[in-house]
């Protein structure tokens, strides 16, 4: 076989792989829903009942409940980030591209209620993903600093502090029925001062109209 050539996949095997992937995604989506309802008390039987599958079917995809929950959380973040990125890609202002994901994250309670509840219910798993998110945010801050759009001596520290502010805001939005989304935007404004964005600019960035979140 020539170098770089791809091995042909039989049509039936390709259809089977697609079928397995669809079933796996359906299971993850169903699991996300029941986790939001049951929280840490969820059982593998709860998940199977909600997904209307046999427990044995779940074990065909995942080794145990913990693996399924972790995969569900990761899937939830990936689905949410895909939608956020598609919205940010349409923006022209580099600073808006930085701030829009922050504003959408603190609004996750309304844009994706199940995912929002699970962020709080499974905070131990959520924190496992933060280093990856912080790394991406740090790189973004570094690029904007080089372009002289931000003032930041240590992008890693700035990203860590911003992430802490955002997570705290989400927890408040989900757990405190009196919390207002305007309060979360105010927290973002304060955090933006850490990377050299003026109060006037920060207010403009956090008070502009947010694109419709379709998910």
Query: What does the pLDDT look like over 54-73, one tens digit per residue?
Result: 999 999 889 999 999 999 99
Q: What's the pLDDT at 23?
A: 82
pLDDT greater than 70 at residue 2: no
Q: What's the pLDDT at 20?
A: 65
pLDDT greater than 60 at residue 213: yes
Q: What's the pLDDT at 131?
A: 87
Q: List, in sequence order, the alpha helices (H) in 53-154.
A: 55-61, 65-88, 94-105, 108-111, 113-121, 123-146
30 in any annotated domain: no
Q: Could you tell me the residue range of the domain that residue 111 belongs to?
A: 69-207
- Chain center to CA of 5: 36
Least confident segment among 3-7, 90-94, 137-141, 162-166: 3-7
Query: How many Å is the Cα radius of gyration of the chain?
Result: 20
CATH number of the domain enclosing 195: 1.10.357.10
Contact 72, 179 (CB under 8 A): no
Total domains, the chain: 1
Neighbours of 205 (CB within 10 A): 21
Measured on CA atoms in the order 181, 186, 188, 189, is the torsion positive or negative?
positive
Tokens 């304060």: give the residue. 190
Contact 103, 88 (CB under 8 A): no
- For residue 39, give the H/E element and its range: none
Tokens 């829009």: give the residue. 100
174 in any annotated domain: yes
Contact 78, 37 (CB under 8 A): no
How do residues 144-200 score in pLDDT, each as one tens digit? 999 999 999 999 999 999 999 999 999 999 999 999 999 999 999 999 999 999 999
How do residues 27-54 score in pLDDT, each as one tens digit? 999 999 999 999 999 999 999 999 999 9
Euclidean distance between CA atoms 176 and 185, whole angstroms:
16
16 in any annotated domain: no
Q: What are phi and psi of 10, to 5 degrees?
A: -60, 140
Give the model's confidence band at 129: pLDDT under 50 very low, under 70 low, under 90 confident, else very high: confident
pLDDT greater than 70 at residue 17: no
Contact 58, 42 (CB under 8 A): no
If DSSP codes are grouped into helix, strand and coil, which group holds residue 4?
coil
Give the model's confidence band at 130: pLDDT under 50 very low, under 70 low, under 90 confident, else very high: confident
53 in any annotated domain: no
Q: What's the pLDDT at 214?
A: 65
Give the model's confidence band at 92: pLDDT under 50 very low, under 70 low, under 90 confident, else very high: very high
């Amino acid at each position: 076989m020539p170098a770089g050539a791809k091995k042909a996949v039989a049509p039936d095997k390709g259809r089977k792989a697609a079928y397995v992937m669809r079933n796996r995604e359906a299971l993850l989506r169903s699991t996300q829903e029941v986790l939001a309802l049951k929280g840490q008390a969820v059982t593998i039987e709860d998940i199977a009942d909600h997904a209307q599958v046999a427990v044995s079917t779940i074990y065909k995809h995942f080794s145990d409940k913990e693996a399924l929950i972790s995969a569900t959380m990761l899937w939830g973040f990936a689905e949410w980030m895909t939608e956020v990125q598609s919205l940010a890609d349409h923006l022209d202002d580099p600073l808006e591209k930085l701030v829009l994901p922050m504003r959408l994250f603190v609004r996750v309670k309304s844009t994706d209620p199940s995912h929002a509840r699970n962020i709080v219910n499974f905070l131990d798993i959520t924190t496992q993903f933060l280093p990856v998110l912080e790394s991406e945010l740090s790189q973004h801050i570094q690029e904007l600093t080089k372009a002289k759009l931000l003032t930041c001596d240590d992008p890693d520290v700035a990203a860590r502090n911003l992430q802490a502010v955002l997570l705290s805001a989400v927890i408040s939005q989900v757990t405190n029925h009196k919390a207002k989304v305007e309060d979360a935007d105010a927290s973002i404004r304060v955090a933006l001062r850490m990377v050299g964005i003026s109060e006037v600019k920060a207010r403009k960035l956090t008070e502009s109209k947010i694109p419709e979140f379709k998910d």
